[in-house]
Amino acid sequence: MTVPAIAGGAIDGGAGLAAVQSRINEIQARFAPPAVSGFGTVLAGQLGGLRTASSYTAGDVPSRLPDGLSPAVDVAQQYLGVPYVWGGGSPAGFDCSGLVQYVYGQLGVDLPRTAADQARVGQPVAGLADARPGDLLAFHDPVDHIGIYAGNGLMVVAPKTGDVVKVQSVYDTPTAIRRILPSGAGFGLAAGDFAAQRTGFLAALSSFTGAAS
């Protein structure tokens, strides 16, 4: 019996069978559906657990982050590119605390106007490793700068005169990290209420993973 030729050459013995199997594997791989991320992978991404601040360099900080990290990050990113204006608190121009106040105001949360006062509201977070997207990161002592954490060692912030609202690496250890938990909001959960937090995360991620169990 004659074995048909492949790609112009006759198949012979074990080498020929290996070539056929290799070609079959190539075709199957081409049409195989992509692997579905499990709940743990999606959750790790939501919580910003995939990369740390030190793993970013100035050249690979994204200009925009995916939607859905947190309501505050989503709102803040609507104003990317708005110029920094000292004392600014509107889409015509923001300073750091003006951006934070305006973003949370859009979510129905009234915050103080200055960075120092904003660094005292909400609940304290022990460190950046425990921070979640939407937490406030305050810097220096006394506090004179603040931004909105976005996960993965990044924040959305109005940096300084001559700059614009943008995604930026967390460049220094925050003086304070505060979690804003408005009553009645989907993320307004009591600290340490793990069961409630898990239920909330499962519901939030149901669109990625199917029905929560």
For residues 138 and 174, the answer to whether their CB atoms sit within 8 Å is yes
Reported as a pLDDT band with limits 50, 70 and 90, residue 181 is confident
**10: three-class secondary structure by DSSP:** coil
pLDDT at 73 > cutoff 70:
yes
Which of 30-34, 81-85, 190-194 is most confident? 81-85
| Amino acid (1-letter code) at residue 26 | E
For residues 196 and 189, the answer to whether their CB atoms sit within 8 Å is yes
pLDDT at residue 202 in the model: 41
pLDDT at 40 > cutoff 80:
no
pLDDT at 21 > cutoff 60:
yes
In 93-167, which ranges are continuous DSSP H helix? Answer: 96-106, 115-118
- Residues linked to residue 84 through DSSP beta bridges, in sequence order: 94
Nearest to 166 by CA among 174, 158, 154, 177: 158
Tokens of 50: 């995939």
CA atoms within 13 A on the CB side of 119: 19
Question: Quick one: how far is CA 84 from the chain centroid?
Answer: 23
Enumerate the domain spans of the chain: 39-208
pLDDT at residue 72 in the model: 97
For the chain, percent of residues with pLDDT exceeding 70: 57
CATH architecture of the region 39-208: Alpha-Beta Complex (3.90)
Q: What is the mean pLDDT of residues 106-126?
A: 97
Reported as a pLDDT band with limits 50, 70 and 90, residue 44 is very low
pLDDT at 171 > cutoff 70:
yes
pTM of the model: 0.61
Cα separation, 40 vs 97, whole angstroms: 34
pLDDT at residue 84 in the model: 98
Q: What is the pLDDT of residues 131-166, one digit of tens each?
A: 999 999 999 999 999 999 999 999 999 999 999 999
